[in-house]
Amino acid sequence: MKNGRYFVGVVGTGGIGRYHIEGWRKLEDVCVYGIADPDTHNLEKTKKDYDIQIAVKDYKNLIKIEEIDIIDVCTPNYFHYPVTIAALKSGKHVLCEKPLATKSIHIEKMIEAAKQNKRKLMAAQNQRFSYAGKKTKEIIDRDELGEIYFAQCYAVRRRELPARDTFIKKELSGGGPMFDIGVHILDIVYWFMGCPKVHSVKGVMFTKLAKNKGVTGTWGRWDPEKYEVEDFAAGFVLFKDKRALHLTCSFLSNLPSNFSANLYGTKAGMIWPEMKMFSELNGMHRDSTLTPIVPENEPSHHIEIREFLECVKTGKDVVVKPEESLEVIRMLEAMYISDEKKREVVF
Ligand SMILES: NC(=O)c1ccc[n+]([C@@H]2O[C@H](COP(=O)([O-])OP(=O)(O)OC[C@H]3O[C@@H](n4cnc5c(N)ncnc54)[C@H](O)[C@@H]3O)[C@@H](O)[C@H]2O)c1
């Protein structure tokens, strides 16, 4: 911190790193002081485009800088763990892209490091900061849906495979659509359901389309021979209180894209994020669609950044508690184990 401004270092200057920098730059009391990326092209371009003072190839040299208060981790998933641990141990607060890590054991260590160093740690689950995400959580907290006893969760893309190593190399990503986009819908629905304890998980994975040379993606080409993750995944989670959810994820389905959840509540059901509600009134169906009176145009990623800074300043709890991210990653991890062993994984 210098002259009343919080200093931020961004590690990883690809697609989302640049988007985060734009979010930080909106805040008057923030200076994006430095960036780190081994890719010289991304590093130099980002330094120039956003007029950033320090640009280094090795993130360790960024973390060393004393003035920096917050490290924002925007690297491929695999690096979330080592970068976050190093940053927390150097006394920095950490905002880290989703998924918080590729292994639950890593998240346990990240939580421990945050506690020991008394620093904030939050996974950038931006859906929780979206207008539909925030409003739905408030509606649920007011008990308008009653008990949500079941949810169908979809993170399905028809022909949208991110054709970069970050997403298709197993070591870097941790997994395919289940890890990359399943984590978004699972995280928010788990939060809507009040983060219940998990009883068991069953999952299945397929790579039926991405290995086929005749399949086209709208987000660029990939080499089918180098494609290492699933392109479709589905799973079922049973909670200890006997509620449950079902999850379907895809990068390349032969069905329309669909990022949504059907929430089955005892008082009302909801299709999210369309905000369609279904219930009964006086013996009649009552269907409604909620629409914002004052539209919210700020991107959820930028709201997330602003609110994270507020927690750093005030000491209040972050919205995406790392313990909740740990449980989400444990569920995802169990989906892969279940697929491999062809059986349910009991927690
Ligand atoms: N919340 C969202 O909506 C959202 C959207 C896209 C990506 N993401 C997440 O953001 C992360 C990055 O995704 P992306 O789309 O920006 O990927 P990307 O491939 O566009 O960029 C990743 C960048 O990280 C750099 N990098 C690799 N190893 C590094 C290291 N050790 N230190 C510093 N930099 C390193 C790469 O050179 C590259 O510039 C992933 O975890 C992804 O899941 C989140």
Instruction: Output the six-digit token pair for 229.
Output: 């993750």
Say whether pLDDT at 2 is over 90: no
d(C-alpha 17, C-alpha 14), whole Å: 5
Q: Tokens in use for 220?
A: 């660029």
CA 102 to centroid of ligand 1, rounded, Å: 14
The C-alpha atoms of residue 82 and residue 196 are separated, in whole angstroms, by 29
Contact by Cβ (8 Å): 254, 268: no
Helix (H, G, I), strand (E, B), or coil: what is residue 41?
helix
Number of neighbours of residue 169 by Cβ within 10 angstroms: 15
How far apart, in whole angstroms, are the C-alpha atoms of residue 151 and residue 244? 7
| Confidence check: pLDDT of 286 > 90 | yes
Specify the pLDDT at position 313. 97
> What single DSSP character describes residue 322?
H
pLDDT for res 68: 98
Closest CA to 125 of 162, 100, 103: 100
> Is 279's C-beta closer than 6 angstroms to any atom of ligand 1?
no
The pLDDT of residue 278 is 98
- Express as a percent the part of the chain with pLDDT over 70: 100
pLDDT tens readout for residues 308-334: 999 999 999 999 999 999 999 999 999
Task: For residue 232, report the distance from its CA to the centre of ligand 1, in Å.
Answer: 22
As a whole number of angstroms, the distance between CA 177 and CA 234 comes to 10
Q: What percent of the chain has pLDDT over 90?
A: 98
**CA 120 – CA 270 distance, rounded (Å):** 33
Q: Give dist(CA 143, CA 117) in Å, integer.
A: 37
pLDDT greater than 90 at residue 296: no
Q: With 0-12 CB in 10 A as exposed, 13-18 as middle and 19+ as buried, what is 216?
A: exposed
Query: The whole model's pTM is what?
Result: 0.97
Residue of minimum CA distance from atom 7 in ligand 1:
16
Q: Report the pLDDT value the prediction gives residue 149, as an integer from 0 to 100.
A: 98
Distance 285 CA to ligand 1 centre (A): 46
Could you read off the pLDDT of 32-65 as tens digits, one per residue? Answer: 999 999 999 999 999 999 999 999 999 999 999 9
pLDDT at 269 over 90: yes
pLDDT at 3 exceeding the cut of 90: no
Strand partners, 277: 270, 288
Is 16 a pocket residue for ligand 1 (Cβ < 6 Å)?
yes
With H, G, I as helix, E, B as strand and everything else as coil, classify residue 251.
Answer: coil
Architecture of domain 6-124: 3-Layer(aba) Sandwich (3.40)
In this predicted structure, what is the pLDDT of residue 268?
98
Q: What is the pLDDT of residues 123-156, one digit of tens each?
A: 999 999 999 999 999 999 999 999 999 999 999 9
Per-residue pLDDT tens for 65-92? 999 999 999 999 999 999 999 999 999 9
User: Which residues in 265-302 are b (16+ Cβ under 10 Å) and which e?
Assistant: beebbbebbebebebeeeeeeeeeeeeeeeeeeebbbb
Please give the distance, rounded to the nearest whole angstrom, from the Cα atom of residue 76 to the centre of ligand 1: 4
Ligand 1 pocket member 177 (CB < 6 A)? no
Q: Which of helix, strand or coil describes residue 71?
A: strand
Q: Is the predicted pLDDT of residue 295 greater than 90, yes or no?
A: no
CATH architecture type of domain 128-299+328-346: 2-Layer Sandwich (3.30)
| Cis amide prior to 99 (ω within 30 degrees) | yes
Q: Classify residue 79 by its DSSP letter.
A: G
What is the rounded CA–CA span in Å between residue 26 and residue 195? 32
Query: Which residues contact residue 60 at a Cβ distance below 8 angstroms, ignoring those fewer than 6 apart?
Result: 86
91 lines ligand 1 (CB under 6 A): no
In ligand 1, the atom with minimum distance to the C-alpha of 39 is: 37
The DSSP code sequence of 254-311 is SS--EEEEEEEESS-EEEETTTEEEEEETTEEEEEE---SS---S-HHHHHHHHHHHH
Q: Above 90 in pLDDT, residue 241?
A: yes
DSSP secondary structure code for residue 216 in this structure: -
Contacts of 172 (CB under 8 A, 6+ apart): 76, 77, 78, 165, 166
Domain boundaries, the chain: 6-124, 128-299+328-346
| Tokens at 106, concatenated | 């890593």
The pLDDT value recorded for residue 183 is: 98
- In the structure, what pLDDT confidence band is assigned to residue 1 with cuts at 50, 70 and 90? confident
Task: For residue range 95-111, list pLDDT tens digits in order.
Answer: 999 999 999 999 999 99
* CB-ligand 1 contact for 84 (6 Å cutoff): no
pLDDT for the residue numbered 111: 98
**Measuring from atom 37 of ligand 1, which residue has the nearest CA?**
39
Residue 336 Cα to ligand 1 midpoint, Å, equals 23
In short, whether 200's Cβ falls inside 6 Å of ligand 1 is no
